[in-house]
């Protein structure tokens, strides 16, 4: 089974390793399995006996390291890497991580997955005091906070800085003699620790990378935790104990690879349970189940098994779509030219189809797929979504920072059904979602962040507070 990326975007993936002679190469393989978390750019920074080296560039990992010499030069037994998702307008190699800072008295590497909620005010304050940023990325702020801290010890500086930044973050820091991993107090972003046969320690946004490099999972990093990895092994410490687990539920719904486990729950299995629960909540008659490739195939399996309907390959995705520079013109599109997704008329013709998708953002993709299925002969298309309606922004690391683009922030379910041209539209309930994922915890919402479904946020919003409140006035509530 493969996976894909669509208009809903995670902000980045990180991978780190300490204690292996092929550190940079293993980081390459680890990032390779995290490529779905960011396709704008990639970079690897290695630590060769205290000397940091880096290569980064725009593009897919395989393009960034098209010339193997760029990887070979990253010698050393420790490394961190990053794949980055492109936010519009900021596409520049300056923003590609890991960041590398060389001071007269030391070196620092930094990779970050997440989004800070007080970045604008922190940056403004720092610049007023003479700071010069080399990127437009918020990730750089932590480095400035560390360098300006008056705490006498390096780890003291790091903890002070981690307590200053707010929002969602999984950080990897590399200095001369250690690799440091840190997670935000809500554990919004996933971050896991593993171990290789030779004793090397690895850290990754997703556990799928452990399979790839042959490492064994040890445990997930906890909220508020800072983990120090060096030649003496792993030291777990906390920079704060004011924590509450709220894992991003979209990781289970859409972002993460099906073979990853987050907080002890396998993603494919969670999705299959979402599909089964969705089947129980679904109220219509149909003949076949068709999942939208590739992200909804697990949910479609679960729906089919629970409902007893046959699971069919009614939609085909071209696997070579990544790289083409040639697209159909509007005129050709109107003549029916479509490159990426085809409906299989031999499968859907004359059938009442349950079309399973993981989520609806703007609604344009759903409308297009419903239309494809109908043109291919489906008599009815019932859209069933493996998650609740996405009606509010995320400020902790998913690229939805305005309500304008969200169809569910502006329309009722019936209106959306009408817009996408479906015969029915069913969203999974929030409770159904929480139960399906089933993290073993007593935290509220089953330890999940479901803020983009409820509009009730886990933390203060800081710099986003004002614009968020304004946006609420413009839109009607969904539920």
Catalytic amino acids?
Answer: 12
Of 284, 338, 404, 466, the one binding its own copies by CB under 8 A: 338
- Determine the Cα–Cα distance for residues 411 and 393; give it in Å rounded to an integer: 15
Q: Which positions from 288 to 317 touch its own copies by CB under 8 A, shown as an x/- string?
A: -----xx--xx--x--xx----xxxx-xxx
Which lies closer to its own copies via its Cβ, residue 342 or residue 379? 342
How is residue 221 written in tokens?
Answer: 């990093």
Of 259, 287, 405, 423, the one binding its own copies by CB under 8 A: 259
Is 281 among the residues that bind its own copies (CB under 8 A)? Answer: no
Residues 6+ apart with CB under 8 A from 98: 43, 44, 45, 54, 56, 80, 81, 82, 109, 110, 111, 172, 174
Is 423 among the residues that bind its own copies (CB under 8 A)? Answer: no
Distance of CA 291 to the CA centre of its chain: 21
Residues 431-470 that bind its own copies (CB under 8 A): none
Longest dimension (CA), the chain: 73
Taking the complex as a whole, the smallest distance from the CB of residue 339 to its own copies amounts, in Å, to 6
Residues 20-59 that bind its own copies (CB under 8 A): 22, 25-26, 28-29, 32-33, 35-36
Which lies closer to its own copies via its Cβ, residue 88 or residue 477? 88
SS3 readout for 316-379: EECCCCCCCCCCCCHHHHHCCCCCCEEECHHHHCCCEEEEEECCCCCCHHHHHHHHHHHHCCCC
Residues 68-127 that bind its own copies (CB under 8 A): 68, 71, 93-94, 101-105, 120, 123-124, 127
Is 322 among the residues that bind its own copies (CB under 8 A)? Answer: yes
Taking the complex as a whole, the smallest distance from the CB of residue 244 to its own copies amounts, in Å, to 26
Residues 6+ apart with CB under 8 A from 368: 341
Residues 176-215 that bind its own copies (CB under 8 A): 196-198, 208, 211-215
Which lies closer to its own copies via its Cβ, residue 66 or residue 219? 66
Tokens 């399996």 belong to: 301
- Determine the Cα–Cα distance for residues 401 and 380; give it in Å rounded to an integer: 34
Which lies closer to its own copies via its Cβ, residue 35 or residue 163? 35
Q: Are 202 and 195 in contact (CB under 8 A)?
A: yes
Q: Which positions from 131 to 170 touch its own copies by CB under 8 A, shown as an x/- string?
A: xxxxxx---x--xx--xx----------------------
Which lies closer to its own copies via its Cβ, residue 374 or residue 403? 374
Taking the complex as a whole, the smallest distance from the CB of residue 260 to its own copies amounts, in Å, to 9
């Amino acid at each position: 089974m493969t996976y894909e990326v669509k208009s809903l975007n995670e902000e980045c993936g990180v991978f780190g390793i300490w204690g292996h002679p092929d550190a940079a190469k293993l980081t390459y393989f680890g990032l390779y399995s995290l490529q779905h978390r960011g396709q704008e750019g990639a970079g690897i920074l290695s630590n060769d006996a205290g000397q940091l080296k880096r290569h980064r560039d725009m593009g897919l990992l395989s393009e960034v390291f098209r010339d193997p010499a760029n990887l070979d030069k990253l010698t050393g037994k420790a490394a961190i890497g990053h794949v980055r998702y492109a936010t519009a307008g900021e596409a520049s190699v300056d923003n590609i991580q890991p960041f590398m800072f060389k001071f007269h008295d030391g070196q620092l590497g930094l990779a970050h997955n997440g989004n800070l909620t007080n970045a604008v005010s922190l940056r403004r304050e720092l610049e007023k005091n003479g700071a010069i940023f080399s990127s437009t990325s918020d990730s750089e702020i932590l480095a400035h906070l560390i360098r300006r801290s008056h705490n006498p010890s390096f780890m003291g500086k790091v903890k002070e800085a981690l307590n200053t930044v707010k929002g969602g973050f999984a950080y990897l820091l590399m200095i001369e003699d250690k690799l440091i991993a840190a997670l935000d107090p809500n554990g919004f972003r996933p971050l896991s620790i593993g171990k290789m046969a030779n004793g090397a320690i690895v850290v990754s946004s997703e556990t799928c990378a452990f399979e790839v490099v042959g490492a064994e999972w040890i445990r997930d990093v906890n909220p508020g935790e800072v983990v120090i990895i060096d030649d003496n092994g792993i030291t777990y410490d906390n920079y704060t104990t004011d924590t509450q687990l709220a894992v991003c539920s979209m990781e289970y719904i859409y972002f993460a690879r099906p073979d990853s486990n987050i907080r002890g729950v396998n993603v494919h299995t969670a999705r299959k349970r979402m599909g089964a629960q969705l089947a129980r909540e679904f109220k219509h008659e149909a003949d076949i189940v068709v999942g939208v490739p590739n992200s909804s195939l697990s949910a479609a399996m679960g729906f089919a098994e629970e409902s007893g309907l046959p699971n069919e390959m009614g939609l085909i995705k071209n696997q070579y779509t990544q790289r083409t520079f040639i697209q159909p013109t509007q005129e050709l599109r109107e003549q029916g030219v479509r490159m990426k997704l085809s409906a299989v008329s031999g499968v859907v013709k004359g059938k009442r189809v349950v079309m399973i998708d993981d989520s609806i953002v703007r609604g344009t993709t759903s409308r297009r797929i419903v239309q494809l299925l109908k043109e291919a002969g489906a008599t009815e298309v019932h859209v069933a979504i493996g998650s609740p309606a996405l009606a509010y922004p995320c400020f902790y690391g998913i690229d939805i920072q305005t309500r304008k683009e969200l169809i569910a922030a502006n329309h009722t379910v019936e209106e959306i059904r009408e817009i996408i041209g479906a015969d029915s539209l069913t969203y999974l309930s929030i409770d159904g979602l929480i139960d399906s994922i089933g993290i073993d915890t007593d935290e509220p919402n089953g330890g999940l962040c479901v803020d983009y479904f409820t509009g009730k946020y886990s933390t203060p919003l800081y710099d986003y507070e004002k614009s968020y409140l304004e946006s609420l006035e413009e839109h009607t509530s969904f539920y």
